[in-house]
Structure 1
Amino acid sequence: MLIVFSGLPGSGKSTLALGLATYLNAVYLRLDTIEAALLNAGLPSVGVEGYAVAYALAADALRLGQTVVADCVNPLPVTREAWQAVAREHSSRILDVEVICSDVHEHRRRVETRQADEGNWAGRWQPPTWEAVARHDYAEWTSPRTVIDTASGEKAEQLVRVLRLVTVPL
């Protein structure tokens, strides 16, 4: 199964994705980690390359029968369709989860107080500022997905909701 967590930085997607991947003992693909590695390896900038690497790694894991949890902004229909294609090509179920934080003040607080993960963010990659998040190109969804709003409620409750979706046939 392929579970893709999408949403703006600071929405809470990484917290949920990592929690689910840990619980399921799934392969965890975090686009921030991939982009950091590419930048630290000398690429002058990263665009589609990070997503291309993530799709390839997901395909390898699905081919081996592993569950994959992908953690990425996934901002455009083309990126969303590419994840769908990876699942289709490997006859895997896919669950698209869009994570939002409907409380703008809480969302901003999260972005501005985010602590850098030394292991993944060392080097040239830096987490985005609130200004970058606020102007991020993030297209409206036109395909089915589950929306989880992290503005209220406990993280554990939100994780249980996603876990129920994973364990119930789609």
Structure 2
Amino acid sequence: MLIVFSGLPGTGKSTLARQLAQDGRAVYLRVDTVEAALMNAGHTGITVEGYAVEYAIAADNLKLGLNVVVDCVNPVAATRDAWAAVARQTSTPLVNVEVVCSDTGEHRRRVEARWEDPEQHTGKWSPPGWHGLQEYVRNYEPWQTPRRVLDTSAGTPQDHLTALLALLAAPQVL
């Protein structure tokens, strides 16, 4: 199975994706990690490269029969379509999970906490601050394809994982 976590930075995607991958012993792919590695290797002007690397690594692992959990913003139809193509090419079920944080104050608190945490910075890569996040908001295209939506504005990470597992177990409504 290919499970793609999407949503704005600071919504809780990484926490959920890591938990799900660890609990399910699945391959975990985080686009921020790939982009950080490319930047730290001297590449500049990174745009689609991180996603392209992840599509290939995901396909390799899906062909081996492994479940893959992807953690990315996935902001536009082109990236969403590319993940669907990976699933089709590997004859693998695709589940899109969009993670949102509907409480603006809580979302801002999370984004600012990530920015201030030196553990969140990887060499030349840093998470966006609140003002940088607004660029993501402007460019985030509305979904036109099925996905499951999880709001993480309230509760603990364990509560969110429990809600995610229930969401994944529910039949997909198209």
Q: TM-score, normalised by structure 1?
A: 0.93
SS where residue 117 of structure 1 aligns? helix
CA distance in 2, matches of 1:49, 1:167: 33
How far off its partner does 1:23 sit? Answer: 0.4
Aligned amino acid, residue 141 of structure 1 = W
CA distance in 2, matches of 1:102, 1:164: 20
- Deviations 1:29-64, CA, capped at 9 Å, x for gaps: 000000000000110121000000000000000000
Aligned amino acid, residue 165 of structure 2 = L
How far off its partner does 1:167 sit? Answer: 5.0
Backbone CA RMSD of aligned residues? 1.5
Q: Hey, what does 2:19 align to over in structure 1?
A: 19
Q: Hey, what does 1:70 align to over in structure 2?
A: 70
How far off its partner does 1:169 sit? Answer: 6.7
* Structure 1 stretches lacking a partner, 5+ long: none
CA distance in 1, matches of 2:48, 2:55: 11
Q: Hey, what does 2:35 align to over in structure 1?
A: 35
Q: Hey, what does 2:82 align to over in structure 1?
A: 82
Instruction: Tell me if structure 2 keeps the 8 A contact 1:116–1:127.
Output: no
- Deviations 1:83-132, CA, capped at 9 Å, x for gaps: 011011101011100000000010000000112436xx431111111111
How far off its partner does 1:165 sit? Answer: 4.4
Aligned amino acid, residue 142 of structure 1 = Q
Aligned amino acid, residue 6 of structure 1 = S
Q: Hey, what does 1:51 align to over in structure 2?
A: 51
Matched-pair identity in %: 55
Distance 1:166 1:147, change over 3 A: closer
How far off its partner does 1:152 sit? Answer: 1.1
SS where residue 99 of structure 1 aligns? strand
Q: Hey, what does 1:160 align to over in structure 2?
A: 162
Distance 1:60 1:9, change over 3 A: same
Distance 1:166 1:65, change over 3 A: farther
Q: Hey, what does 2:146 align to over in structure 1?
A: 144
Distance 1:140 1:169, change over 3 A: closer
How far off its partner does 1:163 sit? Answer: 2.4
How far off its partner does 1:7 sit? Answer: 0.4
Instruction: Tell me if structure 2 keeps the 8 A contact 1:8–1:100.
Output: yes
Size of the aligned set, in residue pairs, is 168
Distance 1:98 1:20, change over 3 A: same
CA distance in 1, matches of 2:122, 2:157: 27
Aligned amino acid, residue 156 of structure 1 = Q
